[in-house]
Chain A
């Protein structure tokens, strides 16, 4: 008997030691480095391809070296997963839309700053009906889309425009990776998606695009979001990202051979060719100059958009169960603060982009 009791104690003790070691490793595993090192995540989307180019061309490294820091740009395959990893603290920055910035990191208590306002969707997101060509025909249909995403928001805005509501349709959550295949299925009659899938879906013979994001310009915004605390402690991270971004923007918007080469590289990395990439750029309103982006960030229209996004998010339970109103998570914009000023978790900060306006390379 005493053998087994002794064994139990020793065995339990061994388990405890292993457990404690594992915990200690996960809690204190991050070692301090002499040169501050940062990790930024991105996923494939026409407006975010410059980040791939920043890594490939060495422009990011050039700016980071100049400021004495290290910035690693990491591509992830899954968009939502990349935001979740950023929220969990695995990345210091991540690309995402304004709505996802509010509902994932900000609602999750991670104070986040929209460092770069890169573009807004100007037709990259659309509502497609099969066999019908009027938005009003959507009533009573089952609509395939990625639930709780910007597609869902676009659909809600589309329904608003014809004085209808989500009660008039039935939403079917469909993965963005499979939506093109889903569109070909005969029992699929309505769907909402974004590019590049949208352009594939529109090629179907009976498909009609009945609403797109150009009808709500400036409401689906693509951002580079950075952890606010990290940014405050290391303003150089902000300077490096903004510096690299606008150097690429100038190149990207240029008709010169170097500009064409940059766009071709981005096209290739996003799995299309130059013509395909440029047709996607046509439905994307890029802010090629920092002045352009600053103007947009300071406009009261941005605050109004965020107010609408916050209301949509609250109605769909995206701000968390503790949220009592659409203003539960505060959003600071240049023109005004929306919602709880004591709980600001999403900040549109144009100061770094402004520095880029004054310091022309």
Chain B
């Protein structure tokens, strides 16, 4: 009898095992939905697949009755614009600040505790302050995401920069490099690939803050639509939106990973072997 720990699925079984949970979830959903619809044909909790396709047609293909817009695309564009802007800002701040804190002892000593403290503030708890300072518009949503992810990115970069072998810095100095040159030619190439992985991890929280911001005050966006139609329990719209968000989030993550592997080959050399 072989031990369980040594059982490895064959290649064909691997795919089947991977799909099985999805299929099971789907079957469980269908059975539960069928049971509810038999009791109440108008049930909104677990709609049938036909209702999904009707809802998707309605939000993605047909123009909306009130506004004449194709809602899914308008919402996706609005959300991605906020997310993209916030991530770009957070990346720039996180990278510069993180490099400074990690490489310059004087900056680290004076600012590290502050960044560590700020990173522990739950951004949603300070929303009322945020509203008063930056208002309710697009800016507040971008700022909320930035507050949420910048400190984490900064601390990550700072940590990675501290891990750069001291020998590298010393060597660069023996070759006559100034602080500025060391920052640009030694620290930056080491920090950039880390920035991408920090961003990929930060994306999870960024989506969370985006949806939260859109739930609180908005006129478009993926989170806005979900919280709006939640008011009348339109699960036929909510579930496809959730799947769509998952797909978009997966795609963003994939693209970031791809860019990172293409742009920073040196960083992945060790891993490839």
Q: Which residues of A contact B (CB under 8 A)?
A: 1, 3-5, 7-8, 11-12, 15-16, 19, 22-23, 26-27, 80, 84, 87-88, 103-104, 107-110, 144, 146-149, 170-175, 178, 181-182, 184-188, 316-318, 320-321
Contacts and interface: CB of A to CB of B under 8 A. Distances in A.
Nearest to B21: A15
B52 interface: no
A178 B232 contact: no
Contacts of B21: 15
Contact of A87 (B135, B228, B233): B233
B237 to A, nearest CB: 9
Nearest to A179: B217
20 contacts: A4-B13, A7-B7, A7-B9, A15-B20, A19-B28, A87-B44, A103-B232, A108-B44, A109-B42, A109-B44, A147-B228, A171-B219, A173-B218, A178-B217, A181-B131, A186-B132, A187-B135, A187-B136, A187-B137, A188-B136
Contact of B41 (A109, A170, A178): A109
A22 B215 CA distance: 32
Interface in B173-218: 215-218
Contact of A181 (B45, B132, B215, B228): B132
B24 interface: yes
Nearest to A108: B44
A19 B10 contact: no
Given A84-B233, A108-B233, A144-B136, A182 B40 contact: no
Given A3-B7, A170-B219, A15 B24 contact: yes
B232 A107 contact: yes
B45 A88 contact: yes
B63 to A, nearest CB: 13
A321 B54 contact: yes
A320 B58 CA distance: 12
Q: How large is the interface on B (under 10, 10 to 19, 20 to 34, 35 or more residues)?
A: 35 or more
Contacts of A27: 32, 35
A246 to B, nearest CB: 31
Interface in B10-50: 10, 13, 16-17, 20-21, 24, 27-28, 31-32, 35, 40-45
Given A87-B233, A109-B42, A173 B31 contact: no
What secondary structure prevails in chain B residues at the interface with A? helix
B241 interface: no
B166 interface: no
A148 B215 CA distance: 14
Given A8-B16, A173-B219, A182 B28 contact: no
Contacts of B217: 144, 172-175, 178, 182
B117 to A, nearest CB: 23
A171 B20 CA distance: 45
B224 A11 contact: no
Given A104-B233, A172-B218, A185-B136, A3 B2 contact: yes
Contacts of A87: 44-45, 233
A76 B84 CA distance: 36
Contacts of B215: 175
B30 to A, nearest CB: 11
B65 A317 contact: yes
Contact of B17 (A8, A108, A317, A318): A8
Given A109-B42, A185-B131, A188-B135, A80 B231 contact: yes
Max chain A C-beta neighbours (<10 A), residue from B27, B41, B65, B219: B219
Contacts of B171: none
A319 to B, nearest CB: 9
Which of B28, B131, B132, B215 has the most C-beta atoms of chain A within 10 angstroms of its own C-beta? B131
Given A3-B7, A175-B215, A148 B136 contact: no
A307 B72 CA distance: 32
A168 to B, nearest CB: 14
Given A8-B9, A8-B16, A184 B232 contact: no
Most buried by A among B10, B215, B216, B233: B233
B168 interface: no
A148 B228 contact: yes
B262 interface: no
Nearest to A103: B232
Given A104-B232, A317-B65, A23 B31 contact: yes
Nearest to B137: A187
Contact of B10 (A4, A172, A181): A4
Contacts of A317: 65-66
Contact of B40 (A5, A109, A144, A318): A109
A67 B13 CA distance: 61
A343 B16 CA distance: 46
B128 interface: yes
A7 B13 contact: yes
Contacts of B228: 147-148, 173
A318 B58 CA distance: 14
